[in-house]
Chains A and B, each alone.
Chain A
């Protein structure tokens, strides 16, 4: 194993290389493009035995990925944001084909207004596609989860696309120290694509994939099978993580629990910003708080039982959503509430929306969220959902609106 300095994009590319991918359909989009650039250089230089094809869109790219995967080829592809949305029709379709491949998504906020910086509304739009979702928070996790993702996708019983998610800029362009798995151990962990597994799409053995079914009951069978396969991916992921730990010594699992054991209060987050929460936990503990972080690494299938267990008996939980479901609120918050409903020992939940479009979440905001949570838990009343947005930001917004000639008509509370 070799220590290296790698960006998140570099780590994702290394993961694909170590997984010995054979086919790479590609289409560029910021901030993902560097992954494809890395891989294409290696392919060009003969360091990887892989066929790369540049496609006309993400729609075609995902179609090609699914088609290749069902014919028995280990396939990887990558996108971001609008690209994921553009390919969404096919993402649902190829998942329905039960095509096992790995899609890297580099999270970036959705238009409009357009941005290049990250939040999770792109990946969460794929929530119900039956793709498995793995969420990384460091460059190390990215390279490791690429290998784990292929094992998971290709597990008998799962056989679904797996999306490995990393945040744009905060991971994609950020270099960190990474222990790069050596290729021999990677091969031991990830055997070649199972040969009995593909549809064996050959001229003398024709197969029709993704056929039409009318009448509803046939449809229901296949749809529910995909759901069950997704649920099965959870214990499967745990098993694969144990194998991974045996070979590489790094422990993963459905949840990262940081200082959670004796914690009375907990932050819940996904993605790279969660390391900021760890920093805040350290600072708060120094000031005498019993507080921790729980971070789901897998979001589909949803680690419901794990979350309930990890949060049982806690006084309060602050869910920090880097996404927003218009007309409802934070998605992680909503899902966690449904998971905890009816549990006798369920903690008080507080909802925070922050980090949209790459907005920073500052240390003092974590401290303040902890205070709000403590107060609410003492009162026994959950606070109203809170958007992390300061007076200063509002003043800057007003200045921009003035320049844009977009002056508020009926001035609301502009404080």
Chain B
């Protein structure tokens, strides 16, 4: 059975990519299961998708614990603990990553034992985060070695019907281009068998004991715990305030920001806390003087010379 685990953020085409891959396997006659998994927060929050394909019926379900391939649509997820990207990865697991950094750097940084392939973020066909997802699915389809270009192309057509024609064509081309790009590599994603019952590592279950006290109710007593969650890492778009246009109205931006990420400095100017601004752009819509501009996060961090 093939087990492919996708990691990305809402809006990066992760669910669509997983469905295209599922559809391609289906068209090729495989038994298929594809499933996204996400929490209550959507845009920018980490999401997962799982694709399984097999020549025999699939009984496994849900989370893929031991992936054959891990697809990371956005390298800014790497440091996010909740994304748990390398969980269950073994030497045979291929990591496919959308990143402008060289593969060697990631291999070193993450102590990757097996293969890692980087697809650049920038360039033709990669203009929007959604297209990163498309580039990934094209690459994976090729790296599997069992899906033809035609089968992928059909799957793209079938799964992208909800997009308008131009967008569907662009997405499809991005995927097919990256399919072609991978023809040069010798690396292949290999199927793996199911876990063997004879030699399994036993789970370490605990005997949960009764405890007393307020901690046994689901309440948060500590103040400002949301500060600990770096929602800034979710951002795909960055609001930037132009203080020459801002008239310090009655700080609508700050009032409406759902994360409380805009504070007003001693001179009365709003300042954005980018460690927590999740990029929802509510502030952009609220500002009466149009002083807040939305920039693509990548572009913004390049301009300000940051490394994330």
Contacts and interface: CB of A to CB of B under 8 A. Distances in A.
Interface of A: 5, 112-113, 116, 169-170, 173-177, 272-273, 275-276, 278-280, 282-284, 286-287, 289, 360, 362-365, 367-368, 370-371, 386-394, 401, 403-415
A29 to B, nearest CB: 13
23 contacts: A112-B218, A169-B35, A169-B62, A173-B37, A174-B34, A174-B61, A175-B19, A176-B58, A282-B194, A286-B198, A362-B203, A364-B202, A389-B206, A390-B203, A390-B206, A393-B206, A403-B222, A404-B215, A406-B219, A408-B213, A408-B215, A409-B214, A411-B211
A342 B63 CA distance: 41
B205 interface: yes
A344 B228 CA distance: 59
A113 B217 CA distance: 9
Given A116-B40, A365-B203, A406-B221, A387 B208 contact: yes
B195 to A, nearest CB: 4
B175 to A, nearest CB: 18
Interface residues of B, number: 49
Interface in B11-35: 19, 22-23, 26, 31-35
B250 interface: no
Contact of A175 (B32, B200, B206): B32
Q: Which 4 A-B pairs have the closest CB atoms?
A: A405-B222, A406-B215, A409-B213, A405-B221
B220 A364 contact: no
Given A365-B203, A407-B215, A360 B63 contact: yes
Given A5-B23, A170-B62, A406-B221, A364 B194 contact: no
A364 to B, nearest CB: 4
Contact of A273 (B31, B61, B194): B61
Most buried by A among B19, B197, B201, B206: B197
A113 B62 contact: no
B161 interface: no
Contact of B206 (A169, A272, A415): A415
Contacts of A367: 197, 200, 202
A258 to B, nearest CB: 9
B60 interface: yes
A367 to B, nearest CB: 5
Given A169-B37, A413-B207, 6 more contacts: A173-B37, A174-B62, A367-B200, A404-B221, A404-B222, A405-B225
B302 interface: no
Contact of A403 (B198, B205, B206, B228): B228
B225 A403 contact: yes
B232 interface: no
B205 A390 contact: yes
Interface in B180-219: 194-198, 200-215, 218-219
A32 B58 CA distance: 24
A216 B86 CA distance: 64
Contact of A364 (B58, B195, B219): B195
B36 interface: yes
Contacts of A362: 65, 203
B26 A5 contact: yes
Contacts of A404: 215, 219-222, 225
A286 B207 contact: no
A392 B23 CA distance: 36
A5 B228 contact: no
B39 interface: yes
Contacts of A409: 212-215
Contacts of B225: 403-405
B197 A286 contact: yes
B87 to A, nearest CB: 12
Contacts of A413: 206-207, 209
Interface string B42-77: 000000000000000011111101000000000000
B203 A174 contact: no
Given A5-B23, A174-B33, A406-B219, A276 B60 contact: yes
